Amino acid sequence: MTHLYWRFIAARERYPLAGSLNIKASALHRLVGLILPYPDPADVLMIETSHFKLPPGQTNPMSADGALEQVNSVRAANQWSVFVHGLRWHGLGVSILHGAPGLHDQLYTANPFMTLPPLAPGQRPRAVIGRMQLEHRKQEPDIFKKFFADCAYDLIEFSSDIENFECTGDVLKIPGINFAFANVRQRTSLTALEELASLTNLHLGVLTTRGPFYHLDTAMFMVPNPLAPHRPYIVYWPPAFGPAALKMIDHFFAPDQQILITDRHEAEAGFAGNGFGLPQQDKPTVALAKSAPKTARVLRDRGLRVLEFEFDEIHKGGGSLFCCKGLWFGPAWDLDRVLGPLWKVPDIVRPSAAPYYSVTYRHKP
């Protein structure tokens, strides 16, 4: 049963391991989700912007010519802070780590880690520690390895021969079920995804993005739907995907759950596919950069609440709102607050010396 739904759902001509989509598996996923909902993290973990700048030689794949402009540090910090306050205003707990000197891209916290719920009630939540492809980002996962160890998570690390795995930049979980879409490109390898499935029991459908969309989260995001929890939305730019990937989306999302990005400029340069579907809201809610106004209008026409943020300074580094946050469950000894008393982890007591060595943690109101 461990890998009942584990299959590669990619273009078979590209990946010999790829298998065709099993419709029965997706239907069974939905049934299991109705009986035993799969807990998703709902607290936000971020790193502040004090060290954000553009290293020499870095290019922006989401720019038409790859050019980079110099970052205005004050403006970047203000835009990031407004985003943080917007998340807190809408009830999310936001934890903020101080950045480490010399790590210019560390504010993009979607890439160095991802968290998964305990395998069973009474166990600890899990933190998968990533492997960054770019040389100047390779030290970032160490920040989160220490942080999650301090917070009593079970750490999941890859074997030494795995070079690239950039976590929720390339692995987007469908809300409420133990299944994720996963992107194989230069930032995440196929062997890493095989090992991820083996280590975590997370079931994956593998695809490959096209064009300038170097991460999956630059072309697609999920939106939880509190009005119908088993019918989340998916927002995506169709030309970024091949026929096999589009078929997979159709199997997991009915037409009324799919929201298409329709403007090429917003998709390729405005980060329309890098929105953030906020968890635990009273209606479907999306945080979106102001650089994608047509996409915002489409979302509102479909009945979603849209929170728009000016984020052009952060865009200069190649990421937007989704890139700047990771999700977690809070510290392991606080798990019953997040998921309920059934999930309380026994024999874990908050240390007298708080492990948030450089963090500001806010409980949800």
Domain boundaries, the chain: 23-360
3-state secondary structure at position 340: coil
Question: What is the reported pLDDT for 336?
Answer: 85
Amino acid symbol at 306: V
At CA 40, angle to CA 33 and CA 351, rounded to 5? 135
Q: Residue 347: its pLDDT value, please?
A: 81
Closest CA to 62 of 238, 288, 215, 262: 215
Report CA dihedral (346, 347, 353, 357) to the nearest 10 degrees.
-50
Q: What is the pLDDT along the chain (365 residues), one digit of tens a residue?
A: 233 233 333 333 333 333 333 333 445 544 444 445 678 999 999 999 988 887 665 555 554 444 456 888 899 999 999 999 999 999 998 889 988 888 889 999 999 999 999 988 889 999 999 999 988 899 999 999 999 998 999 999 999 999 899 999 999 999 988 899 999 988 999 999 999 999 998 889 999 999 999 999 999 999 999 999 889 999 999 999 999 999 999 999 999 999 999 999 999 999 999 999 999 999 999 999 999 999 999 999 999 999 999 999 999 999 999 999 999 998 888 888 778 888 888 888 776 554 444 444 444 44
User: 257 phi and psi, to 5 degrees?
Assistant: -100, -10
Q: Are 117 and 154 in contact (CB under 8 A)?
A: no
| Structure token digits, residue 316 | 């200069």
> Cα(105)–Cα(247) distance, rounded to whole angstroms?
34
Dihedral sign from CA coordinates of 288, 292, 293, 295:
negative
pTM of the model: 0.87
> CA nearest 203: which of 129, 126, 116?
116
The CATH number fitting domain 23-360, selected from 3.75.10.10, 3.40.1440.10, 3.90.550.10, 3.30.450.20: 3.75.10.10
Note the pLDDT of residue 101: 87
pLDDT of residue 57: 59
Count of other CB atoms within 10 angstroms of residue 359: 17
The pLDDT value given to residue 64: 43
